[in-house]
Amino acid sequence: MRTGFFSHLPECAPVVRMALMCAFAAAAIVLPQQGEATDKVVLNSSAFEPDGPIPAKFTCEGEDVSPALTWSGVPSGTKSLALIVDDPDAPDPAAPKMTWVHWVLYDVPPSAQGLPEAAGVNSLPHGTREGLNDWRRTGYGGPCPPIGRHRYFFKLYALDTALGDLGEPTKARLKKAMAGHILAEVQLVGTYQKSGK
């Protein structure tokens, strides 16, 4: 004896049975919402492992240059990328009071697949614009924690629009401009503690 919904359909109606079965199967498929990213964005650095220590070369105790970054899986429809690097553990990870911003980039072309080590005005992908870090200047400022081991978040955003010239926006102003345009985002975390601190 057959049980279930389809067992009640007449044997003489195979076409109807098949159409209903297809309709039920289609209804079970969850489709992404408009603007939802279906790709998996991956962000890496050759300088450090995820959640690993950042070498002193990329900090105020070394050359203070940015580490190389690579990414993949940027979703289709991406018109620009943005990068924010910040430290939520300032000034003391035992009692954090603020998030210190180290680097702000936007309008990075979606064709870019990464940033070179020591990225600067002359080596950023063509069209990339810079915002202000919390030293009130453009460019990368490396880890320089006064005490304890801090975490540094490298956050990449895929946007459905190019933002255009915002001047030299702060992180807060850039995030406001990005609102409603983020297709996907990914983060890479590194840590650093000063020698003897």
Q: Kindly state whether residue 71 falls inside one of the protein's structural domains.
A: yes
Co-location of 10 and 74 in the same domain: no
CATH number, residue 101: 3.90.280.10
pLDDT classification of 88: cutoffs 50, 70, 90: very high
Return the percentage of the chain with pLDDT > 90, whole number.
78
Q: What is the per-residue pLDDT across 5-25, written as a single tens digit (0 to 9) for each? A: 444 444 444 544 454 444 434
Number of domains in the chain: 2
Which sign does the torsion angle of CA 109, 71, 42, 100 carry?
Answer: negative
- Write the CA distances from 155 to 3, 14, 69, 72, integer angstroms: 53, 54, 11, 14
Q: What is the pLDDT of residue 197?
A: 64
Q: Is residue 106 part of a domain?
A: yes
Same-domain check for residues 13 and 80: no
Q: Residues 6 or more apart from 148 whose CB is under 8 A from it?
A: 89, 92, 93, 94, 193, 197
Total length of the chain? 197
Per residue in 127-158, pLDDT tens? 999 999 999 999 999 999 999 999 999 999 99
Residue 116 within any structural domain of the chain = yes
Same domain, yes or no: 62 and 127 = yes
Residue 147 is part of which domain span? 42-192
Is 121 domain-assigned?
yes
DSSP state of 8: G
